[in-house]
A and B are shown apart, each in its own frame.
Chain A
Amino acid sequence: MSSAQLEIQIIASLVAIACAIPGTFLVLRKMAMISDAISHSILPGIVIGFFITQDLNSPLLILLAAITGVITVVLVEYIQKTGLVKEDTAIGLVFPVLFSIGVIMIAKNANDVHLDIDAVLLGELAFAPFDRLLISGVDVGPKSLWIIGSILFITIVLLVAFFKELKLSTFDKGLAASLGFSPVIIHYGLMSVSSITTVGAFDAVGAILVVALMIAPAAAAYLLTTDLKKMLILSVVFGVFSAISGYWFAHWLDASIAGSITTMLGVLFLAVYLFAPSKGIIAVMYREKQQRTEVSLLTFLLHLKNHDDERERHVNHLNEHINWQKVRSKTVLDLALKNNMIRIDNKIVSLTTKGDEFTTQAIDYIMTNEDSQIEDMKEDFFLFRG
Chain B
Amino acid sequence: MDEIPAFAGIMDLKDYIQLVFSDYTLRTITLGTAILGVVTGMLGSFAVLRKQSLLGDAISHAALPGIAIAFLITGAKDSNTLLLGALVSGLIGTFWIRGIITKTHLKSDTALGLILSLFFGFGMLLLTFIQKQPNANQAGLDKYLFGQAATLIESDVWLMAIVTGVCLFVLLLFWKEFKILLFDKDYAKTLGFNTKTIDILITSFIVLAIVLGLQTVGVVLMSAMLLAPAAAARQWTNSLAKMVFLAALFGAFSGVFGTAISASQNNLSTGPVIVLVAAVFVFVSFVFSPTRGLLFKQIRFIKNRRDLELHKTLAFMYHIAETHENIAHPHEIKILNNFQGFTKGTLKKLVEKNYVTLKGTTWSLTAEGFESASNLYNQSNKKDE
A-side residues, CB < 8 A to B, are: 27, 30-33, 35-36, 40, 79, 82, 84-86, 88-89, 91-93, 96-97, 99-101, 103-104, 106-108, 110, 117-118, 121-122, 208-209, 211-212, 214-216, 218-219, 222-223, 250, 253-256, 258-263, 265-266, 269, 273, 279-281, 284-285
Contacts and interface: CB of A to CB of B under 8 A. Distances in A.
B118 A216 contact: yes
Given A86-B53, A258-B121, A284 B104 contact: yes
B113 A110 contact: no
A112 to B, nearest CB: 12
A163 to B, nearest CB: 22
Contact of A262 (B113, B125, B268): B125
B118 A265 contact: yes
A99 B276 CA distance: 10
B99 interface: yes
Contacts of B268: 104, 107-108
Interface residues of B, number: 63
A215 B114 contact: yes
A211 B103 contact: no
Nearest to A83: B292
Interface string B113-128: 1101111111111111
B122 A263 contact: yes
Nearest to B294: A82
B4 interface: no
A223 B286 contact: no
A19 B121 CA distance: 16
Given A266-B122, A273-B100, A89 B53 contact: yes
A281 to B, nearest CB: 5
Contact of B54 (A88, A255, A285): A88
B107 interface: yes
A104 B123 CA distance: 24
Contacts of A33: 54, 57, 109, 112-113
Contacts of B271: 100, 103
Contacts of B282: 93
Interface stretch (B150-158, B221-229, B307-315, B349-357): B221-229
Given A256-B125, A258-B124, A100 B272 contact: yes
A84 B286 contact: yes
B104 A223 contact: yes
B235 to A, nearest CB: 6
Residue among B104, B119, B268 with max Cβ neighbours from chain A (10 Å): B104
A118 B145 contact: yes
